[in-house]
Structure 1
Amino acid sequence: MQQTRGQGAPGADSPWNEIVPNLWMGGHFYQDAAGRLPAIVDGEFDVVVSLHHQDGYGPAPHVEHHYARIPDGPLAPDEIAEVSRLAAVTAAAVTAERRVLVRCHFGYNRSGLVVAQALITMGHDTDDAISLIRRRRSEWALHNHLFVAYLGNGLTR
């Protein structure tokens, strides 16, 4: 399976970024001038959607947490269904004005796929959702061209 995580992409310069009100996108790691740092979540968010697991990286026990193991590469039909489900959970929580973080390893591709689909569910068109994510998180967000194609073709089709 082809993985795109880290292929030439620098680490994000913050643990997470707000994409639209109440919706943040991030990773388990970010990077500052001194090097790679852990992005540990405590109770800052009402809902956390994790697409990568790292012991000790939160969230706090009282936080609603959704986890799915999703590769940063081609997705099987059940994985596409899980991405769609998590995007629906994310969109519903944001619409209910809950603070939501969607995160993966670096906060670029898998989290970008879920966040973009959530934005599409909330009424954004595909190109606008992708552009917004790249402006707010990083120009490296959604550099997995396969994920961009999934979004363009519609995850639920």
Structure 2
Amino acid sequence: MKARQKDRGLPDPGAPWNEVAPGLWMGGHHWRDVSGVSRPAVVGSEFDLVISLFTRPGHGPDPAVEHHVADTPDGPLTAAQIHKVQDLALVAAQAVRDGRSVLVRCNAGYNRSGLVVGQALIELGQEAEAAIGVIRRKRSPWALNNPVFEQYLTTGLGVARLLADLDPLT
């Protein structure tokens, strides 16, 4: 099995996206099928709302689909980036409450999407540890392998944002 990123040695996801809670999906831009072939994860009109934390031309969604884009690094975030994650998680949670289907995606669908989906699950009433657990069970055991993002969720994004705002490097 080919690694997603050589520096992390993680396997490619086994599906383009997975439902982690009713109406809330998590995915990426590529995946590897059961025969080991790498496939693009192209979104059409399967979802009512798509939140992209990474984009690649030709990967959708269809123009009629509501699409929020916030290029986000897979590493420590600035206070402004954490605030954007909070906003997107609120948008996702409200859409789920409204009965809409939501896809949150990044490159592989492990970390950045996991951060937004985790916060959306928290907004929907789950505890942070439970949200992390469901993401790993439903998407992949490799989901949220970035320890900084897991800490953001367990500490709380509001606290993480305040602490990031204190950092003179951001």
For this structure pair, what is the TM-score category when the shorter chain's length is used for normalisation? over 0.9
Partner of 1:98: 100
SS at match of 2:158: coil
Deviation at 1:133, TM superposition (A): 0.4
Partner of 1:133: 135
Structure 2: distance between partners of 1:9 and 1:121: 29
TM-score under structure 1 length normalisation: 0.95
SS at match of 1:156: helix
Q: Calculate the aligned-residue CA RMSD, in Å.
A: 0.9
SS at match of 2:136: helix
Partner of 1:84: 86
Partner of 2:61: 59
Deviation at 1:8, TM superposition (A): 1.4
Partner of 1:17: 18
Moved over 6 A (4+): none
Structure 2: distance between partners of 1:35 and 1:145: 29
Structure 2: distance between partners of 1:126 and 1:118: 10
* One of 83, 100, 120 as aligned partner of 2:122: 120
Deviation at 1:152, TM superposition (A): 1.0
**Number of equivalences:** 153
SS at match of 2:55: coil
TM-score under structure 2 length normalisation: 0.88
Using CA pairs under 8 Å that are at least 6 residues apart, name the structure with larger relative contact order, 1 or 2: 1
Deviations 1:74-95, CA, capped at 9 Å, x for gaps: 1011100000000000000001
Corresponding letter in the other structure for 2:122:
I
Bigger radius of gyration, 1 or 2?
Answer: 2
Partner of 1:144: 146
Structure 2's unaligned 5+ residue stretches are 160-170
